[in-house]
Amino acid sequence: MGGKEKITRLKKPPGHHHHDRHRRKKHNWTKLLQNNKSLTVGSSFVGVGAILVYVYLQLTRGQLHTFVSALEHVTRAVYDVNCSKDYESEKFIECKPKRCARVVRDGLISEADAAYLLNVAKKGLAYGGSNGGASILDLHSGALSKGDIFINIYSLLKKDNIHLFTEEDFMVYKKTKDKIQHAIAEEFGIPINKLYLTKPTFFSRMNTTEAQTIHDEYWHAHIDKETYGSFHYTSLLYLTTYGQEFTGGRFIFIDPDKNRTVEPKLARVSFFTSGSENVHYVEKVEDGTRYAITISFTCDPEQAISEPSFS
Which residue in the list 102, 250, 268, 290 is annotated as catalytic? 290
C-alpha 169/C-alpha 258 separation (Å) is 40
C-alpha 184/C-alpha 240 separation (Å) is 22
In terms of C-beta density within 10 A (0-12 exposed, 13-18 middle, 19 or more buried), how is residue 86 classed? buried
Contact 144, 157 (CB under 8 A): no
Q: Looking at residue 215, what is its pLDDT?
A: 87
Whether the full predicted model's pTM is greater than 0.85, yes or no, is no
Q: Looking at residue 17, what is its pLDDT?
A: 42
Q: Looking at residue 63, what is its pLDDT?
A: 82
Contact 139, 170 (CB under 8 A): yes
Three-class SS of residue 26? coil
Q: Provide block-wise average pLDDT over 10 residues at a time, the chain (311 residues).
A: 66 42 35 33 41 46 85 97 96 97 98 98 97 97 96 97 97 98 98 98 97 92 95 98 98 95 98 98 98 98 93 69
Q: Looking at residue 9, what is its pLDDT?
A: 63
C-alpha 38/C-alpha 18 separation (Å) is 42
> What is the three-state SS of 74-134?
EEEEEEEECCCHHHCCCCCCCCCCCCEEEEEECCCCCHHHHHHHHHHHHHHHCCCEECCCE
Which domains are assigned to the chain?
Answer: 4-303 (2.60.120.620)
Whether 290 is catalytic is: yes
In terms of C-beta density within 10 A (0-12 exposed, 13-18 middle, 19 or more buried), how is residue 107 classed? middle
Q: Looking at residue 310, what is its pLDDT?
A: 79
Q: Looking at residue 304, what is its pLDDT?
A: 98
